[in-house]
Amino acid sequence: MKTVNRGKLKRLAEQGKLLGRCNYCYTDDYIYDNANDFGRTKQYLPVYVIPKGESRWNVPEGYIGIDEYYFRCKGGHAWEEEDGTITLYPYQNLSYSLKIKED
């Protein structure tokens, strides 16, 4: 597992060069989580970095929104998987798979 700089990931996302999908997002409501397949998304979408103070519900259609804080939170980390995807793990209840767009 190779560590990936989260600041670099944020810059790539802001430049439109990052695709992402949610692996899981757990809340404190199991019934809600189960009904929503635990936040999983199947397809990779362009990443929209949600600016500080902006609602996560205002993400443009066709994008996956990732809060800018997730790229810098104290307990989070990111690493490269064997298949080349990058796992962004801001918290124990949230995980994203990321890919750098090929030019």
Q: What is the pLDDT of residue 30?
A: 80
CA-to-CA distance for 10 and 61, rounded, in angstroms?
Answer: 20
Q: What is the pTM of this model?
A: 0.85
Mapped to the 3 state alphabet, what secondary structure does 26-42 carry?
Answer: CCCCHHHHHHCHHHCCC
Average pLDDT, the chain: 89
pLDDT one-digit tens code per residue, 48-73 = 999 998 887 888 999 999 999 999 99
More confident residue, 55 or 95: 95
